[in-house]
């Protein structure tokens, strides 16, 4: 078997039934969408509001934002794109079949407060529910949060290099440091209920976060006359107050959602 065939087989095994998502840089690339479809990999890719799509069984060409403005009120559904730091991320969602393929659609997200719109081109190898597309669209925040943590906690962007080798070494070390902090955070997290609204009822401190673990490790390497239990006590106090603030955010967001 050739190296290319082995590589293709490995990719197929890795992606399986995976759903891909990405921002407009990837969503605007028709070649990428074609490759994903050829491999029968579903995707939810962000696109610009000026993107043109075909509706009415491929008979009508319309711009994405124009299509969103023409949708009736009952076309929108309030759903959460996942839990955020301040509670479920509720948006209004609508989807419209595009082209002649039943499994191809334009997914539209509307902010219920600002009415800001976002658009996604979607395709799946089989029928999927709106909630599944919303869930995949919401996973993009995980990627963005990872890059933000890498920059703010381990200095991913703190380099002044001009050569590939030195840049490559810096990026690898930064990613290894973040992977270590993430592994410690996961291992330190207690077993809890999978209920997404658990923070509303829980009085426990929030789990150790990557910034908190980095702060505690930093204290270990700084000479100090403070007893070792003092930083841990402050950490628990901070996380208790953060949990209290999170409860308030969750309750307010859940209350506002129940009123709509």
Residues 103-136 have pLDDT tens digits of 899 999 999 889 999 999 999 988 889 999 999 9
Per-residue pLDDT, averaged over 35-58, amounts to 91
State the first-to-last Cα distance of the chain, in angstroms, to the nearest integer: 58
- pLDDT range class, residue 7, cuts 50, 70, 90: very low
Q: Give per-residue pLDDT as tens, 139-148.
A: 888 778 888 8
Looking at per-residue pLDDT, the higher value among 96 and 232 belongs to: 96
Q: What is the pLDDT of residue 251?
A: 74
What are the DSSP E strand ranges found in 35-190? 42-47, 52-55, 60-63, 77-84, 87-97, 104-110, 117-123
Q: Give per-residue pLDDT as tens, 224-238.
A: 777 777 888 888 888
């Amino acid at each position: 078997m050739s190296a290319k065939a082995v590589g293709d087989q490995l990719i197929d095994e890795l992606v399986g039934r995976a759903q891909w998502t990405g921002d407009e840089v990837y969503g605007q690339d028709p070649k990428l969408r074609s490759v994903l479809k050829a491999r029968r990999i579903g995707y939810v890719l962000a696109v610009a509001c000026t993107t043109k799509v075909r509706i009415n069984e491929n008979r009508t060409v319309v711009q994405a934002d124009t299509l969103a403005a023409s949708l009736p009120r009952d076309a929108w559904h309030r759903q959460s794109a996942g839990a955020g730091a301040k509670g479920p991320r509720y948006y209004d969602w609508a989807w419209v079949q595009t082209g002649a393929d039943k499994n191809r659609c334009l997914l539209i997200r509307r902010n219920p407060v600002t009415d800001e719109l976002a658009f996604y081109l979607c395709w799946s190898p089989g029928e999927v529910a709106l909630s599944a597309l919303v869930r995949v669209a919401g996973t993009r925040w995980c990627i963005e949060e990872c890059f933000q943590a890498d920059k703010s906690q381990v200095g991913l962007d703190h380099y002044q290099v001009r050569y590939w080798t030195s840049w490559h070494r810096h990026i690898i070390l930064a990613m290894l440091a973040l992977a270590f902090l993430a592994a410690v955070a996961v291992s330190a997290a207690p077993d809890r209920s999978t209920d997404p609204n658990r923070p509303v009822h829980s009085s426990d401190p929030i789990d150790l976060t990557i910034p908190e673990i980095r702060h505690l490790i930093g204290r270990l390497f700084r000479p100090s006359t403070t007893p070792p239990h003092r930083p841990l006590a402050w950490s628990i106090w901070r996380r208790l107050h953060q949990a209290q603030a999170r409860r308030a955010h969750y309750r307010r967001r859940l209350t506002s959602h129940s009123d709509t």
